[in-house]
């Protein structure tokens, strides 16, 4: 397994809309290795979700594990939210926007249909943190970031703060 580089805001590649994963791709050794590498990258970061778009692979899949002990890994291939209910405000962060957190309003409960890592169709009812994480990662697959929910002024402040962090790290 290998750690993958994570694209960071404002990298334009994060705005790419992901294409569907073809059924024939799912069982290939290369695709399965990519899934394993994404989990390793996510856990190392550390994070609880990682969309393929964040590692410059513009295919509709993501990995998620919101458990404390890293024992509930999910792979969502070609996910679609079929139902949303309620509303919650959650303070979100993102591996592509390091060190920045902001309140985002999301559906409290969702139903998501997807293929698992073996290509088997699944339906999951999720709430709380898992529901938020699924919605956050699905935004990545659509070329959207959580900072897009912020006002233009706050988004520009985030851009400047990240640029300053990069300059400081390079010095």
Split the chain (171 residues) into runs of 10 and give each run's mean pLDDT: 92 97 96 98 97 98 96 97 96 94 95 98 97 98 95 88 87 82
**Alpha carbon of 68 to those of 26, 29, 71: distances in Å?**
28, 29, 8
Go through the domains of the chain in sequence order and give each one's CATH number. 12-162 (3.90.45.10)
Does 136 count as an annotated binding residue?
A: yes
Residue ranges with strand state E in the chain: 49-51, 61-64, 74-85, 88-94, 97-106, 109-115, 121-127
| Exposed/middle/buried for residue 143 (C-beta within 10 Å: 0-12, 13-18, 19+) | middle
Q: Strand 97-106 to strand 61-64: parallel, antiparallel, or no bridges (unpaired)?
A: unpaired
Tokens matching residue 59: 């295919």
Cα-flanking dihedrals φ and ψ of residue 19, to 5°?
-95, 155
Q: What is the pLDDT of residue 88?
A: 94
In this predicted model, what pLDDT tens digit does every residue of 99-143 receive, in sequence order? 899 999 999 999 999 999 999 999 999 999 999 999 999 999 999
CA dihedral 5, 118, 93, 142 (to 10 degrees): 90
Does 58 count as an annotated binding residue?
A: no
Neighbours of 79 (CB within 10 A): 22
| 137 catalytically annotated | yes
User: Are the CB atoms for 62 and 94 separated by under 8 Å?
Assistant: no
H or E stretch covering 128: helix 128-141
Does 133 count as an annotated binding residue?
A: no
């Amino acid at each position: 397994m290998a750690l993958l580089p994570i694209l960071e805001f404002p990298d334009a590649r994060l705005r790419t809309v992901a294409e569907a994963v073809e059924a024939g791709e799912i069982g290939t050794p290369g695709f399965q290795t990519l899934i394993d590498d994404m989990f390793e990258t996510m856990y190392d970061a550390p994070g609880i979700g990682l969309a393929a778009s964040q590692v410059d692979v513009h295919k509709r899949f993501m990995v998620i594990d919101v458990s404390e002990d890293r024992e509930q890994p999910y792979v969502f291939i070609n996910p679609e939210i079929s139902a949303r209910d309620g509303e919650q405000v959650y303070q979100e962060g993102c591996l592509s926007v390091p060190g920045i957190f902001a309140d985002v309003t999301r559906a409290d409960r969702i139903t998501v249909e997807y293929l698992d890592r073996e290509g088997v169709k699944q339906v999951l009812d999720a709430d709380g943190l898992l529901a938020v994480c699924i919605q956050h990662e699905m935004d990545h697959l659509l070329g959207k970031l959580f900072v897009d929910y912020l006002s233009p002024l706050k988004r520009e402040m985030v851009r400047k703060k990240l640029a300053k962090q990069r300059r400081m790290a390079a010095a």
